Amino acid sequence: MTATMRAHVIHAHGQRPRLQAVAIPTPGPGEVLIRVTACGVCHSDIHAVDGDWAPPSIVPLIPGHEVTGHVVAHGPGVAAPAIGTAVGVAWLAGACGHCEFCLNGMETICLAAEATGYTRDGGYAEYVTARADFLATIPDGADLVRLAPVLCAGVTTYRGLKHAHARPGQFVGIVGVGGLGHIAIQYAKAMGFRPVAVDVDPAKLELARRVGAEFAFHAVEDGTTAVLEATGGGCHAVLVTATAPRAFEQAVDMTRAAGTTVFIGIPPTANDLVRLSIIGLVNGEKVIRGSNVGTRLDLQEAVDFAARNLVVPEIETVAFENAALALDRLRGGAVAGRLVLTF
């Protein structure tokens, strides 16, 4: 008889996940089996469930890509991490290792990249398999529940900030203070930047101040003018974690001449276009770039910041059984910080 585990499974796009018993997966060559301690609930999980990105996620699917746990078994050919090691499983589940992007330190955009909880099963389950060479190792003593959001929200904002090319002491705007934004503020501060938070929700501006924003402005009531005045001409870089097109447009206006605006928020497909001033970009010699999750190096660096308590995600734990309710709440948008499934 095969041993079973409990997992939340999507059988068709648009359905709510169903909690059921499935076989514990067997780690293949190069893979390990991980007993899951915690799994963060990310907005991308909703897109995986709904099947609204092209190409859509596989079905049936176990979602979840902010996974922490311990290695409990090795597949063929695996020597490390040792059994019992605390590890993290992120969105980037694998890449080819030899294309032009992989060779150039951009495995995040490898055309053959695999994604946890999207092209393979993720962490809304008691066990998950993952490629051993794509795991983050988590230092002893770290809080595996608190740290779970670092596996996506953390690494994504951290790489975005690396792409911002700001220097310590410079102003870095964080537009959108949700699951990603409140973590971005902490990375920005830990990296020596001066975080300037922007949101439309007073409660989120309060959260921004609590986690280290030097300024927190309401996007409409204070507006771009307040940011330009506080920073003496605009932020040296701005990271956009919001999803409304207007937030991206405003972020470019909040960016100082010669500065970089980094887009990391992902809107619904139907709401994917922005309007920008060409003259503003030309005359200001501004840079706009996208940034997508993170490489294995970004991931390990992001985990190390959190393991040293320089970045502490605000979390609300949700019993594993209630994953579908957690997704409903995230859809509703009324979540400050990050929901994390625990056993």
- Contact residues for Zn ion, defined by CB under 5 A: 42, 44, 95-96, 99, 102, 110, 152
- Specify the residue, 162 or 338, whose C-beta has the smaller distance to Zn ion: 338
Q: What is the smallest separation between the CB atom of 42 and Zn ion, expressed in angstroms?
A: 3
Say if CB 92 and CB 108 are below 8 A apart.
yes
Q: What is the smallest separation between the CB atom of 288 and Zn ion, expressed in angstroms?
A: 22
- Specify the residue, 105 or 233, whose C-beta has the smaller distance to Zn ion: 105
Q: Which residues of 255-281 are buried (b: 16+ CB within 10 A; e: fewer)?
A: bbeebbbbbbbbbeeeeeebeeeeeee
Q: What is the smallest separation between the CB atom of 40 and Zn ion, expressed in angstroms?
A: 8
Q: Which of 198, 191, 197 is nearest to 166 (CA)?
A: 191
- Which pair of structure tokens corresponds to residue 101? 């992007």
How far apart (Å, rounded) are the C-alpha atoms in residues 303 and 145? 13
Q: What is the smallest separation between the CB atom of 247 and Zn ion, expressed in angstroms?
A: 18
How far apart (Å, rounded) are the C-alpha atoms in residues 336 and 333? 9
Give residue 215's identity as a one-letter amino acid code. Answer: F
Q: What is the smallest separation between the CB atom of 101 and Zn ion, expressed in angstroms?
A: 5
- Specify the residue, 76 or 332, whose C-beta has the smaller distance to Zn ion: 332
The number of beta carbons lying within 10 Å of the beta carbon of residue 65 is: 27
